[in-house]
Chain A
Amino acid sequence: MRDFYGVTLDTPLMLGTAQYPSPAVLEAAFRGSGASVATVSLRRESGQAQGFWEIIKSLGVHVLPNTAGCHSAREAVTTAQMARDLFDTNWIKLEVIGHADTLQPDPFGLLEATETLAADGFEVFPYTTEDQVLAGRLLDAGAQVLMPWGAPIGSGLGLNNRYGLRTLRAAFPDVPMVIDAGLGLPSQAADALEMGFDAVLLNTAVAQAGDPVAMARAFALAVQAGQLARAADPMDPRDMAQPSTPVIGKAWL
């Protein structure tokens, strides 16, 4: 697997920590998922943070703070600086949101914030679209990982633009890429890994499932299957049938 800023992950699964029915379910889902990375955020102190942080620490996974909810480069940069101070990591999942309904990244703000943060020693995981030109600009700006969306955050629509994602994957074969957002089913996660993406990041699909722990396990198996399949070099699809049973030696009846 391609590494993420020098870190090789045990599994290609990154899992969000929001929206679970209870802290106990969050913990059980995480353990069932085998996720290597937990995404977290920063919010105003309300007195309940300590318990949450203790759970995350006990999971023994890599922590990836986000800048969720930021709508400008300035806001995202300040949030990233605060995240580094709080979580002692240079990793930052950079979200600069451009539209309230689609939660689509603002490509201009994203590029500006990536430039600023990379120059300041951050290891940026930009939440981006499948846009190949933007991807190139983000890499030029100092990002060494890309996180293209599958579909809008929380939509569960899966890989909304497989053509665009395939093209992006092929355009930058050496860049570690994570499909972030929009996954609803384990089959979609397997699909992403079969296409050559290095990991998937999801939250709602597990946290909002009727049985989050079982769904976490299902995603764990799916990403494992997808990763194995990719490494096994899948056959090319073709339009016409080709018999798999040998024709030679067939009886003359």
Chain B
Amino acid sequence: MKLEVNGEHRDVTGPTLADALTELGWGEARVATALNGAFVAKGARGGTDLNDGDRLEVLTPMQGG
């Protein structure tokens, strides 16, 4: 299915958010996720199914003031 991941088009198989993260190379990474603007907790990724056209944000720790 086609997703928009951090603003870029990506093709993933899914079907869950956890599967997609592994596919995208973030399986073990320290990231936080939001799907279509709504927060998805670490523990809920395995039970969150993706749909074509979903908008996924994958965030990491970054410098900040």
Name A residues whose Cβ lies closer than 8 Å to a Cβ of B.
16-20, 26, 39-46, 49-50, 52-53, 56, 65-66, 68, 78, 81-83, 85-87, 153-154, 203-204
Contacts and interface: CB of A to CB of B under 8 A. Distances in A.
Interface in B22-65: 26, 29-34, 37-39, 41-42, 57-65
Nearest to A20: B63
Contact of B65 (A53, A81, A87, A153): A153
B38 A78 contact: yes
Contacts, number: 93
B39 A82 contact: yes
A203 B63 CA distance: 11
A82 B38 CA distance: 10
B62 A86 contact: no
Nearest to A44: B6
A66 B59 contact: no
Contacts of B32: 42, 82-83, 85-86
Nearest to B29: A45
A36 to B, nearest CB: 16
Interface of B: 6-7, 26, 29-34, 37-39, 41-42, 57-65
B38 to A, nearest CB: 7
Nearest to A207: B65
A167 to B, nearest CB: 26
Contacts of B58: 44-45
19 contacts: A20-B63, A39-B64, A40-B64, A41-B61, A41-B64, A44-B58, A45-B26, A45-B58, A46-B60, A52-B62, A53-B30, A53-B61, A66-B64, A68-B65, A78-B39, A81-B41, A82-B32, A85-B42, A87-B61
A53 B62 CA distance: 8
Contacts of A85: 32-33, 39, 41-42
A16 B62 CA distance: 11
A86 B64 contact: no
A45 B63 contact: no
A16 B33 contact: no
Contacts of A81: 39, 41
A68 B59 CA distance: 14
Given A78-B39, A86-B59, A45 B6 contact: yes
Given A45-B31, A86-B32, A40 B62 contact: yes
A46 B61 CA distance: 10
Nearest to A18: B63
Contacts of A16: 63-65
Contacts of B7: 44
B61 A78 contact: no
Contacts of A203: 65
A43 B42 contact: no
A42 B60 contact: yes
Nearest to B44: A85
